Amino acid sequence: MKNKKTLISLIVILLLNTTLFSQELSTSKSANIKDFPEYVIVTSQNTKLFGGINIVIDSKKSKYEDQLDNLADLLQSRHGLKVRNQTDLLNAMSQLGFDYINSYNASAVMPSGNNDDVDDILNTIDGGEGSYKVNMVFRKKLKYRE
């Protein structure tokens, strides 16, 4: 009897592990990789003070606004992928079904000018004048394109 319980417990644990740790290609219950646009541009900015990056995906007035907002939340969330640097970002996007295409600076150094702006404060605390924002371009992997 004890062996049966142990065997059943092991099977349940193995099933849960494969379900919980298998690669998920959806960003939430309401969004799936197939719902995303073919290209996604992710802007990241090093915040250094807290040892991570700020991630922004421009979604304003996009027909994919909800999915892109969900993706940004998933990438930064403590309960999501917890992306803390650009290496994490590249790996997370690959796991989600995207290939890296290119990157470029979003603009020159973002100057510190507004004392009320938290980003400016975070970027200047370590002695710099500001920080670079980097745009990374991702494209859906071929198998997910329509």
pLDDT in tens, 57-84: 988 888 999 899 999 988 888 777 888 8
Q: Is the dihedral of CA 145, 26, 86, 60 positive or negative?
A: positive
In a domain, 6, yes or no: no
In a domain, 11, yes or no: no
**Residue 111: domain span:** 27-144
Strands (E), 17-91: 26-28, 31-32, 39-46, 53-56
In a domain, 12, yes or no: no
Model pLDDT, residue 29: 38
In a domain, 136, yes or no: yes
In this prediction, residues 96-111 reach a mean pLDDT of 79
Model pLDDT, residue 126: 47
